[in-house]
Amino acid sequence: MRVGEAIGLDRGDLDSEQGLLTIRHGKFGKSRQLPLHASTVEALLGYLALVRGQCSRTPQGSSMLVSTTGTRLIGNNASAVFSRLVDDARLDWAGRRRPRLHDLRHRFAVATVLGWYRAGVDVEPRLPLLSTWLGHVGPASTYWYLSAVPELLALAVQRVDNATGGRP
């Protein structure tokens, strides 16, 4: 999800029975549903219980992700907290750009495609699915997430070598 989409979630957007999260009013006003792993549903339900029990105030409105005062999160504040968490975790990003909250979205895209390659799946027909999960118009919008990722390039080269017997 984009940061704004996550912040825009309401408690009613989680269908814990079906394991679906509905993103309303995404980019270009589009909505979509994301399938969730059972552990993610469990974590979200735990978070919602925690908010009900420990929030200094009852959550105001229907927001899923709330501040300690019960109000909907603000994007800049979420990014600032993430930055502090990066510092607290003492993550090493030497030689690279400092991690940002949005990088989790990029990592999801790359990890998904890596998983497909490693499982021997034909990736190209699955790219529209990944594009839908990311809320992109189509695979062309998703390709830039995947470009210049050394892990993906190595797997692509290996597939070409396997298909051609290593011949140029």
Which CATH number covers residue 46?
1.10.443.10
Q: Which of 92, 121, 145 is the last residue of a domain?
A: 92
Q: How many domains does the chain have?
A: 2
Partners of 15 in beta bridges: 20
Q: Are residues 39 and 10 in the same domain?
A: yes
Note whether residue 97 is domain-resident. no
Note whether residue 62 is domain-resident. yes
Q: Which of 29, 58, 92 is the last residue of a domain?
A: 92
Q: Which of 30, 57, 92 is the last residue of a domain?
A: 92
Contact 126, 116 (CB under 8 A): yes
Q: Are residues 86 and 106 in the same domain?
A: no
Q: Are residues 71 and 6 in the same domain?
A: yes
Q: Are residues 40 and 79 in the same domain?
A: yes
Q: Are residues 73 and 155 in the same domain?
A: no
The CA-atom distances, in angstroms, between 162 and each of 8, 21, 31, 97, 110 are 45, 39, 40, 34, 22
What residues are annotated to the active site?
A: 2, 27, 102, 105, 136, 145
**pTM here?**
0.80
Q: What is the pLDDT along the chain (168 residues), one digit of tens a residue?
A: 999 999 999 999 999 999 999 999 888 888 999 999 999 999 999 999 888 876 555 666 789 998 888 889 998 999 999 999 999 998 888 778 888 998 899 889 999 999 998 898 888 899 999 999 999 988 888 887 777 678 877 877 777 777 777 676
Q: Are residues 79 and 117 in the same domain?
A: no
Q: Are residues 86 and 164 in the same domain?
A: no
Across the beta sheet with 32-35, the strand order is: 14-15, 20-23, 32-35
Residues 6 or more apart in contact with residue 130 via CB below 8 angstroms: 109, 112, 113, 139, 142
Q: Which residues of 31-55 are buried (b: 16+ CB within 10 A; e: fewer)?
A: eeebebeeeebeebeeebeebeeeb
Q: Are residues 112 and 166 in the same domain?
A: yes
Q: Are residues 118 and 68 in the same domain?
A: no
Note whether residue 10 is domain-resident. yes
Q: Give the range of the structural domain holding residue 147, as residue numbers without chain letter.
A: 102-168
